[in-house]
Amino acid sequence: MRRITASFLPPIALDAASGVPMHRQLSEWFRRAIVDGRLRPGQRVPSSRSLASELKVSRIPVLSAYEQLYAEGYLETFVGAGTCIARSIPVERSAGTAPQSTPLRIAAHAAPRRISRRSASMREPAQTWLDSQGAFRIGLPAIDHFPLGVWSRLVNRHARKQATDMMVYGDPMGYLPLREAIAEYLNTVRAVRCDASQIVMTTGSQQGLQICAHVLLDPGAPVWVEEPGYPGARQALMMVGAKPVPVPVDHEGLNVMAGIRRSRGAHAAYVTPSHQFPLGTTMSATRRMQLLNWATRSGAWIIEDDYDSEYRFGGQPITSLQGLDTDGRVIYVGTFSKVVFPALRLGYVVVPRDLVPAFYDARNATDTFCATLYQVVMADFIREGHFARHIRRMRTLYMERRAALLEAIGKYLGDQLEVIGAEAGMQLVALLPPGIDDVAVSRKAADLGISVRPLSPCYANPPARGGLILGYGGAGVREIQDGVRKLRSCIRKDA
């Protein structure tokens, strides 16, 4: 690399070995120097001849770089006065922006950097427990047991073909054969009543929730949310300016009567009836009827988030709320994150027929459609039976992992933790003794490399007792046992 100081220019570094043509390196250097204020508007630049000689390069790349900079408006020429940095470039711009690799420097005279009140309200404190992917990261399936060979074969099958219909814009509702396969699966396994025309593919259920919020709610609309509940749902609602109304959850699920007392006229309710997040309870039949009746009478929508109900250890999965709905009040949100893998980013929303056009428009306006290749692969994965087989295997595996976790908790922390919600899913809740700060315990655990999510941030109002949400899907038996031993050292009165 040659480093040369031209007569009145800051040092110019050119790298003959970089493979980037000299003229491009030069024009890029000028652009950067102008944008970050090292070259000022009106400042003269050397003639092409003198710059070429100082840089010890031929004149051609210098001429070519200058030509490009003229064309882009960075340079201007005056007869008799030579070439200078265009005087029309605003001084603030040229002085205030740092090169990409340095930290942002904000000029003293810069106007305030306003962001919306909604995004400010979504700011979360540091969640160090999300740094680790091992025990007890919630929502993480057994990636090491995923049939990667089968999956790669399916990806190759379609990626190699380069079929043009997979490379163009797709249907905002999603790839039809996949939606047909999902409709069949939901009819059979989840008692959801729908056909493919009611299914909208999304990039996971988080996007499904956002689209529901966009379609169903105006700013200021009150919406029941479970207390405790899924923070992601609260965020999706707040993004459209809706007002979450916390409604307590007990052993029968959301307390509908308490919801009616708090906000009879709420526009919607967000619920996880099959497996309440995070407490793990199942909504009773009575509460389901009460909720549907309230929705019908008051004209409210019910957003049913059915995120992991495939994994139920005693008996069959609980049937959906959507299947009981005769009035088209329930919007059913599902995901492949827990049953396939989260980075796939594929989920779906089952929409009442009359809402299909509105959901189509919102889906189109969001990010147009989901990547076609993975939709096609997922359709084959389901149709060829791999999906059902994988779920069956994982159910057995998670039963073993759950048993290992319960055993280890009993052995090492039986006097400290009270376990609830272990009948289904891939996680359970362990309540801490009163007076112990669950966020502090989670931070300590993160320092030891384990991911334990605190329970209290799932509440809008601070709970009487903190707890830990422990995912066991993604951790092997040995890792679970080690994790619980480490956790013991984090749970002390002074944690």
Ligand X SMILES: Cc1ncc(COP(=O)(O)O)c(C=O)c1O
Residues 135 and 402 sit within 8 Å (Cβ to Cβ): no
Half-sphere CA count of 418, side-chain side, radius 13 A: 7
3-state SS of 66-123 is: HHHHHHHCCEEEECCCEEEECCCCCHHHHHHCCCCCCCCCCCCCCCCCCCCHHHHHCC
Residues in contact with ligand X, counted by CB under 6 A, come to a total of: 14
**Residue 385: CB atoms within 10 Å:** 9
Chain residues 121-160 in contact with ligand X, contact rule CB under 6 A: 139
Q: Which is nearer to ligand X, 170 or 473 (CB)?
A: 473
472 binds ligand X (CB under 6 A): no
3-state SS of 42-57 is: CCECCCHHHHHHHHCC
Least CB distance to ligand X at residue 409 (A): 21
Binding part of the chain for ligand X, among 52-60, 199-207, 237-245, 248-256 by CB under 6 A, reads 199-207
Tokens 């790349």 locate to 61
Chain residues 42-101 in contact with ligand X, contact rule CB under 6 A: none
Q: Which is nearer to ligand X, 190 or 486 (CB)?
A: 190
Return the residue of 61, 170, 204, 352 that touches ligand X, per CB under 6 A.
204
Least CB distance to ligand X at residue 304 (A): 11
Query: Could you give the residue ranges of the DSSP H alpha helices within 299-332?
Result: none
Least CB distance to ligand X at residue 335 (A): 3
Half-sphere CA count of 126, side-chain side, radius 13 A: 5
Return the residue of 198, 205, 451, 481 that touches ligand X, per CB under 6 A.
205
Q: Which is nearer to ligand X, 337 or 375 (CB)?
A: 337
Binding part of the chain for ligand X, among 27-35, 204-212, 262-270, 400-408 by CB under 6 A, reads 204-212
230 binds ligand X (CB under 6 A): yes
DSSP 454: E
Chain residues 344-373 in contact with ligand X, contact rule CB under 6 A: 347
305 binds ligand X (CB under 6 A): yes
**Residue 44's beta-bridge partner residues?**
84
Chain residues 242-281 in contact with ligand X, contact rule CB under 6 A: 272, 277
Return the residue of 147, 177, 342, 463 that touches ligand X, per CB under 6 A.
342
- Would you say the C-alpha torsion 215, 218, 224, 228 has a positive or negative sign? positive
Give the C-alpha separation, 33 to 234, whole Å: 45
Binding site for ligand X (CB under 6 A): 139, 204-206, 230, 232, 272, 277, 305, 307, 335, 337, 342, 347
